[in-house]
Chain A
Amino acid sequence: MIVAERKTIPELIEILQGHKKVLVLGCGTCVTVCLAGGEREVSIISSALRIASRLASSSLEIEELTIERQCDNVFIEKAAEAIERNDAVLSLGCGAGVQAIAERYPEKPVYAGLNTAFLGILEERAVWTEKCVACGACVLHEYGGICPITRCAKHMLNGPCGGSREDRCEVMPDRPCAWQLIYRRLKGIGQLDRLKQIKPPKNWNASIHGGPRVIVREDHRI
């Protein structure tokens, strides 16, 4: 899922300066699960902004709404009336959600209330870790399902680097060495031979470095 965290309240106040009526719009998908932009967070951030507005003796009116998914026009439709009656939208969706709303309402200021951080998983209660950089050419099958690009601090395709200590990464000692994990996993599934293959440099054209990516499925377009 997409993992994000909220911007600070002073940042949000600065972003919203000059607006009188703001819709704080949550998203019921990824950012709800990572406790950043769901219905509950919309309420908390709205309350915080109302208190801040009262302290500053300004008259900021805030409306709260959460839709199922901000990155999908079908669901954005459900926020249409609320978006129309407010001066601006503070989106608590991921970067894709913010842009989807902004594209749909070209004359309405739409601001990001979150910093979209990474693609990750819930590792333990309230701890999310990055697992995928969306490089566009997945190599997980070669590394026992553990991504060396995302999880090795040195992004090594031909590891290990030799610097790990007691299974921990030398760059980030609070994280496990990805190559230790890869070794154990490949050993467990009887594919240690894969480590003998030298991997050529990765082609990053399929990633964001090749420009914004588009996927078209012609079979679904009609």
Chain B
Amino acid sequence: MSSDDSHGHDKEPIILTSPRRLGKGMVMIAITLAIGAAILIPLFDEMFEIPPPVTQIRTESPAAEEGEGEQGAAPAEEGTTRITILAGAAVQGSPDYDPDPGQVPAGNSIVWDNQDTVPHTATSGTGPQDPNSAQLFDTSIVNGGEESTAVQLQGVSEGQTIPYYCIVHPYMTGELTISAAGQGAAGGGGGSAQSGNTTGAAGGGGGGAAGGPTLTILEGSSIQGSPDYDPDELTVAAGADVTVMNQDTLPHTVTSGTGPQDPNSGQTFDTSLINGGESATLSLAQVAAGPYDYHCMVHPYMTGKLTVQ
């Protein structure tokens, strides 16, 4: 019985796939993919443009709520724009500066109110890699629950957008937009206002100033990702002596070169080990003008830049 059956099956011809049908099928696949590509290629960047709606909601509503609450307090400090560093800003991806972008009437000074529990800064520039970082302003560390000193922007024009970020958490970024001078604002004349930029790169540039340029190794530098050298980019006059103060509890060095793998590491200058809490003098008498990378031999992720003029 069963052999009869299989015999019957054998007689049925098996229809093989023909090249023609295979070709048709492949053409169908190719056309589908071509249509997809024609849609995708012109839109590739546009598909990646819209920020998630949640961020738009969160930048608007808290501003409105707090606006009511603080409108009463605001007139007391006329000519001051307040920007809040929100609680939880230290968590990557959370909302950070508020409002962002902040509208600053020309001539106003700015105060950052750190409502988070950990220290933050507001430092001009797009990030630690930005060569112009902290040139315009830097609040330096503002501890949790405290307010920064008032920052007066100088040399900015109306309509300009200024990016800034937090040195401690470089993913916290914000923007300031300079708008027309506010009503009754103090006016743009405040040339004497302190910028808070005490450690800016320009500060060390004088060279001849009493005490000479100072390079500080901040406390906690040994932890990867923490701020290390302050200022990170120091400009000094040729032949000057730089005082290196190690405020951390662990030993560090200031050694020329991009890292321990750099074949020229330590060739130009090297303080060798500076114990925690001690200072050393870096003599640049033999060093030619130009930019130099330096790092810490003990913690190669601590890097900085020294420019000799």
| Chain B binds chain A | no
Q: Using a CB–CB distance below 8 Å, which chain A residues touch chain B?
A: none
Q: Using a CB–CB distance below 8 Å, which chain B residues touch chain A?
A: none
